[in-house]
């Protein structure tokens, strides 16, 4: 019983009852019992005990009321044994233990934790609100840092920047310059934000966005990707292509809508990217430009040198004049020539167009000529045939027949060739269908396997958690030889039981023997009685004293019968006495805690209270009158 | 309940931290120390990156581990991840036992302080810090000879963050103002009531 008490005490402590270290259930008074039961009921059903006070009220009638209420609630929960308010007001160890055990069984197991957690949250909310209410108002010009920390008035708004975490992955090798950027230019994470307060929000934003993207991708892969028959990397590539082409389309469409006024009319996105890429790898271009520039310089210097030779012969002005004239003449010549050239060009164009027209006409006439030639040939033949119309008709018919026969033959042959080909085609088609079906079924199986894998992973995780929990429980459990003690105890009890069984067997044997003896004795008694009776009756016919003997014998017999009965009665009475004794013991155990003195005291209390109440009523009546 | 969601590259960074060849013991200690101190603004990033002992380490790896561990600290402290779970998580990502102990000591020491720093960031409405009001009285208009209606013009000065002030201006009739005042009073009472109930 002590161990059961221990368990009950532990649960009570978990429920939040204040129990002293050495206190046991035997020491509980009614106040304590009330508190404990209330804490149990709070966890089991909060609503039902809302009206009850947390401690036992001092007023006697209120005590009775609340106790009977609790008793009813416990009965509603399914408590079978007898229970009413006096069991709670005048507690008795056995009853209370039974009630506690019952309540402990009806505790919802997980709710203990969750209830305490929700309680904590409510407490937190209350605390926060209390803090808010108590907070004194501060004018805004007070220093910001001295206002209460954690209060909203000191808060910064949630604003996020984009972040970048560098890593040595595949992209470092494929993208040129990325490594340099990472090493030289990219700031560490905490300096990437504009304000130091933005670090945390930006970090949350960054982390969650990447996490969500990964999840989204996996979802899509599970839903659509796995059935497409590609591996994940190919799937991603194809998706990239799709997105790119869609972007191209939309850009092109918007360009067309916007008209040709846009500076880059039909550049696709890829062209743009290409241009951009070309921009920073254009080393050769620069070089060639430089080369061109130097060539120009060389030409310029040669012209300068020729001018210097002319200057030695003529004076400055004459030279100027001459040159002007020359330039004018040359200019006019150039103008003329260019005009001529333009004229020629125009003419050329005209001629070219004319030539084209002529060519097209030529082609048309050619085609016409061919048609006409054919017609002419046919007509010529028909005219030639007209001379011998009938014969030719027959010949024609023969020809027709022959060709039709030929046709039939050909078709038969074609049929011969066609059939195996078609059969081959059909079989191939069937094969393909089969393969497609197989692929489908395999895909289905793959999907199932995936689900199975997921399930298994989950199970494994659950099992691991369970294992850890169990291990913790095992760690927490007292290890020192508990088991051996229990086994020893069990063995002892088994031994005891065996001993008792042997004893019982012995007693049973004794009683059986006794019964047998009793039976034999009664049998012999009956037989001897009959014998004596017969003998006496036989003698009675002759003797007078024998008659008397018969009479006394009958009396003796009667007396013996009575004796037997009384012996039986004493046996049964003794049994009764024993059972009554045990009952008395039981009842005394039950009622030993029922302190009659206390009951009498409570009764007198109630009487005094009642008289008080009557007095009050009288006073009220008088005042109202 | 809250669960820790760390993205792939953060986890990769944490795993890089476990690489004992790449990141030697003293460098590791320096990185962890700097992460915590930078979040609490007791040191700056230059203390980490201009240290001589660290110049031998690959800069990318240094930046990666530093950034990842900053994310790790902030995310775990956001949901107040307990000590044992942090240890488990680090163990999963191959950190050695004495490194885990080193990290968890820091967590023990700075848990409260970091959560205080995080609590400064918030989604909140602007805080009212000052009120000015003016009572106007409309006497008449072009259509009505005698109007005689009071109108309150109210100017609220608000503070979104430190030293960032905003203004809210509105006009209302007497009834509207009364309604506002009653509602405010009601809200205040409600808060008082729910703070007592426990």
Residue B106 has pLDDT above 70, yes or no: yes
Q: What is the C-alpha to C-alpha distance for residues B83 and A72, in angstroms, rounded to an integer?
A: 46
Q: What are phi and psi of B129, to 5 degrees?
A: -120, -15
Report chain A residues whose CB lies below 8 A from the CB of B196.
126, 130
Contact B31, B48 (CB under 8 A): yes
**Is residue A547 packed enough to be buried (19+ CB in 10 Å), middle (13-18) or exposed (0-12)?**
middle
With vertex at residue A256, the alpha carbon angle to CA A251 and CA A257, rounded to the nearest 5 degrees, is 95
Contact A167 B12 (CB under 8 A): yes
Least confident piece of the model among A94-108, A547-561, A611-625: A94-108
Q: For residue A430, what are its two tokens?
A: 């069937």
Question: Of the ranges A72-86, A244-258, A388-402, which one carries the lowest mean pLDDT score?
Answer: A72-86
Could you state, in order of their start, the residue ranges of all structural domains in chain B? 8-119, 127-196
Res B59: pLDDT: 80
Kindly report, residue by residue over B18-44, the tens digit of the pLDDT.
877 778 888 888 888 888 888 888 887
> Higher-confidence residue: A302 or A55?
A55
What pLDDT digit, counting tens, does each position of A443-471 carry? 999 999 999 999 999 999 999 999 999 99
CB pairs under 8 A between A and B: 144
Per-residue pLDDT band at A118 (split at 50, 70, 90): low
The 8-class DSSP code of residue A54 comes to S
**Which one of A130, A183, A200 has the shortest CB-CB distance to B195?**
A130
Residue A264: pLDDT band (50, 70, 90) is: very low
Identify the CA nearest to A188 among candidates A180, A199, A179, A177. A199
The answer to whether residues A90 and A595 touch, using CB atoms and an 8 Å cutoff, is yes
What average pLDDT does chain A have?
Answer: 80
pLDDT in tens, A499-517: 999 999 999 999 999 999 9
Q: At what angle do helices A2-14 and A93-106 cross, to 10 degrees?
A: 50
Point out which residues pair with A417 in neighbouring strands. none
Sort out which chain B residues have CB atoms less than 8 A from A153's CB and list them: 127, 159
Distance from CA of A421 to the nearest CA of B (A): 57
Report the pLDDT value the prediction gives residue A225, as an integer from 0 to 100.
64
Q: Report CA torsion sign: A107, A108, A111, A112.
A: positive
**Cα(A359)–Cα(A363) distance, integer angstroms:** 6
- How far apart are the C-alpha atoms of A264 and A258, rounded to whole Å? 11
Mutate to test the interface with A, among B71, B112, B118 (most CBs of A within 10 A): B71
A156-157 and B121-122 beta bridge pairing: parallel
Mean of all residue pLDDT scores within chain B: 84
- The shortest C-alpha distance from A79 to chain B (Å) reads 31
User: What is d(CA B47, CA B40) in angstroms, rounded to the nearest whole number?
Assistant: 14
* A97 within 8 A of A8, measured Cβ to Cβ: yes
- pLDDT tens per residue across span A523-543: 998 898 888 888 888 877 777
For residue range A34-80, what is the model confidence (pLDDT) as tens digits? Answer: 888 887 777 777 677 777 777 777 777 778 888 888 888 888 777 77
What whole-number distance in Å separates Cα of residue A523 and Cα of residue A531? 12
Tell me the C-alpha distance between A557 and A545, whole Å: 18
- Please provide the DSSP assignment of A514-560 as one string: HHHHHHHHHHHHHHHHHHHHHHHHHHHTT-SHHHHHHHHHHHHHHHH
> How many other C-beta atoms are found inside a 10 Å radius of the C-beta of residue A564?
11
CB distance B14 to B90 below 8 Å:
yes
Nearest to A207 among B45, B71, B163 (CB): B71
Question: Crossing angle, helix B8-17 and helix A199-223, to 10 degrees?
Answer: 110
pLDDT of residue A204: 87
Q: What are the tokens at A429? A: 């088609």
Residues of B in contact with A199 (CB under 8 A): 39, 70, 74
Spatial CA neighbour of A40 closest among A66, A2, A14: A14
pLDDT beyond 50 at A386: yes
- Cα(A524)–Cα(A121) distance, rounded to whole angstroms? 89
- A349 pLDDT exceeds 80? yes
* Residue of chain A nearest B163, judged by CA positions: A144
Instruction: Give the closest-approach CA distance of B139 to chain A in angstroms.
Output: 37
Is B65 within 8 Å of chain A by CB? no
Q: Which secondary structure element, helix H or strand E, spans residue A462, and what is its range?
A: helix A389-476
Residues of chain A contacting residue B49, judged by C-beta atoms under 8 Å apart:
188
b/e per residue B149-187 (b: at least 16 CB within 10 A): eeebeeebbbbebeeeeeeeeeeeeeeebeeeeeeeeee
Residue A477: is its pLDDT beyond 90?
no
Instruction: Give all strands of the β-sheet with B164-172 in edge-to-edge order.
Output: B127-138, B149-161, B164-172
pLDDT at A420: 92
Mean pLDDT computed over A164-192:
80
Q: Cβ separation of A153 and B68 shorter than 8 Å?
A: no
The CA–CA distances, whole Å, from B123 to A144, A238, B1, B126, B160 equal 18, 41, 21, 10, 10
Convert the pLDDT of each residue in B71-86 to its tens digit: 888 888 888 888 888 8
Closest residue of B to A143, CA-based?
Answer: B162
Q: How far is A204 from chain B (nearest CA, A)?
A: 7
Q: What is the pLDDT of residue A439?
A: 93
**Among A259-268, A584-593, B122-131, which stretch is predicted with the lowest mean pLDDT?**
A259-268
Structure confidence at residue A570 (pLDDT)? 95
Chain B nearest-CA distance from A195, in A, is 12
The mean pLDDT of A291-314, rounded to a whole number, is: 51
DSSP-derived letter for residue B133 is E
User: 3-state SS string over A86-139?
Assistant: HHHHCCCHHHHHHHHHHHHHHCCCCHHHHHHHHHHHHHHHHHHHHHHHHCCCCC
Q: Do B191 and A129 touch (CB under 8 A)?
A: yes
Is the separation of the CB atoms in A69 and A52 below 8 Å? yes
| Residue A113: both structure tokens together | 């934790």
């Amino acid at each position: 019983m002590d161990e059961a008490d221990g368990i009950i005490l532990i649960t009570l402590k978990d429920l939040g009852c204040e129990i002293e270290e050495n206190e046991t259930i035997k020491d509980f008074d009614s106040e304590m019992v009330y508190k404990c039961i209330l804490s149990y009921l709070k966890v089991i059903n909060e609503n039902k005990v809302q009206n009850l006070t947390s401690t036992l009220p001092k007023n006697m009638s209120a005590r009775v009321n609340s106790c009977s209420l609790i008793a009813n609630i416990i009965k509603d929960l399914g408590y079978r044994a007898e229970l009413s308010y006096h069991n709670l007001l005048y507690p008795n160890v056995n009853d209370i233990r039974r009630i506690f055990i019952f309540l402990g069984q009806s505790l919802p197991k997980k709710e203990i934790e969750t209830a305490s957690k929700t309680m904590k949250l409510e407490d937190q909310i209350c605390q926060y609100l209390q803090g808010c209410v108590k907070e004194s108002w501060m004018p805004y010009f007070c220093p910001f840092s001295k206002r209460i920390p954690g209060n909203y008035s000191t808060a910064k708004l949630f604003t996020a920047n984009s972040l970048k975490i560098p890593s040595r992955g595949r992209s470092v090798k494929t993208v040129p310059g990325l490594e340099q950027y990472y090493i030289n230019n990219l700031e560490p994470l905490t300096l990437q934000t504009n304000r130091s307060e933005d670090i945390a929000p930006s970090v949350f934003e960054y982390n969650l966005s990447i996490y969500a993207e990964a999840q989204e991708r996996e979802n899509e892969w599970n839903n659509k990707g796995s059935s497409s028959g590609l591996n994940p990397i190919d799937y991603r590539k194809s998706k990239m292509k799709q997105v790119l082409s869609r972007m191209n389309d939309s850009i092109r469409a918007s360009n067309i809508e916007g008209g040709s006024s846009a500076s880059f009319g039909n550049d696709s996105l890829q062209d743009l990217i290409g241009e951009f890429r070309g921009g920073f790898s254009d080393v050769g271009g620069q070089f060639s430009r430089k080369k061109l520039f130097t060539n120009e310089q060389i030409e310029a210097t040669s012209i300068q040198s020729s001018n210097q030779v002319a200057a030695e012969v003529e004076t400055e002005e004459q030279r100027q004049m001459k040159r002007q004239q020359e330039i004018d003449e040359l200019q006019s010549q150039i103008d003329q020539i260019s005009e001529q050239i333009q004229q020629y060009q125009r003419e050329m164009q005209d001629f070219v167009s004319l030539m084209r027209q002529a060519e097209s006409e030529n082609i048309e006439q050619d085609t016409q000529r061919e048609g006409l030639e054919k017609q002419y040939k046919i007509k010529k033949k028909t005219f030639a045939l007209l001379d011998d119309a009938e014969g030719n008709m027959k010949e024609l018919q023969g020809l027709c027949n022959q060709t039709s026969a030929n046709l039939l033959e050909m078709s038969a042959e074609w049929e011969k060739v066609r059939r195996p080909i078609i059969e081959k085609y059909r079989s191939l088609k069937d094969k393909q269908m089969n393969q497609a079906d197989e692929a489908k079924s395999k895909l289905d199986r793959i999907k199932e396997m995936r689900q199975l894998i997921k399930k298994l992973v989950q199970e494994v995780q659950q099992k691991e958690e369970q294992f850890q929990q169990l291990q913790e429980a095992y760690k927490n459990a007292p290890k020192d030889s508990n088991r051996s003690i229990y086994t020893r105890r069990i063995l002892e009890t088994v031994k005891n039981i065996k001993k008792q069984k042997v004893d019982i067997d012995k007693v049973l044997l004794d009683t059986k023997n006794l019964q047998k003896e009793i039976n034999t004795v009664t049998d012999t008694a009956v037989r001897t009685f009959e014998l004596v009776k017969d003998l006496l009756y036989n003698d009675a016919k002759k003797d007078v004293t024998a008659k008397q003997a018969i009479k006394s014998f009958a009396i003796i017999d009667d007396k013996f019968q009575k004796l037997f009965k009384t012996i039986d009665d004493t046996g049964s009475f003794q049994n009764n006495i024993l059972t009554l004794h045990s009952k008395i013991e039981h009842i005394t155990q039950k009622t030993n805690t029922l302190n009659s003195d206390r009951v009498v005291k409570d009764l007198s209390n109630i009487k005094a209270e009642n008289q008080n109440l009557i007095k009050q009523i009288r006073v009220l009546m008088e005042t109202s009158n | 309940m809250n669960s820790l969601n760390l993205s792939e590259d953060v986890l990769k960074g944490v795993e890089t931290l476990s690489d004992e060849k790449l990141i030697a013991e003293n460098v590791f200690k320096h990185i962890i120390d700097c992460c915590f101190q930078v979040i609490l603004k007791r040191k700056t990033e230059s203390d980490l990156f201009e240290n001589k002992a660290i110049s031998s380490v690959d800069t990318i790896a240094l930046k990666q581990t530093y950034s990842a561990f900053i994310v790790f600290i902030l995310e775990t402290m956001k949901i107040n991840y307990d000590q044992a779970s942090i240890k488990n998580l680090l163990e999963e990502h191959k950190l050695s036992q004495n490194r885990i102990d080193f990290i968890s000591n820091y967590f023990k020491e700075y848990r409260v302080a970091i959560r205080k720093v995080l609590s400064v960031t918030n989604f909140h409405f602007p805080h009212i810090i000052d009120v000015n009001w003016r009572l106007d009285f409309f006497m008449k208009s072009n259509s009505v000879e005698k109007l005689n209606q009071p109108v309150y013009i109210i100017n609220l000065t608000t503070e979104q963050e430190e030293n960032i002030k905003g203004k809210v201006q509105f006009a209302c009739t007497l009834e509207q103002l009364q309604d506002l005042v009653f509602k405010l009073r009601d809200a205040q009472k409600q808060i008082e009531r729910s703070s007592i109930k426990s």
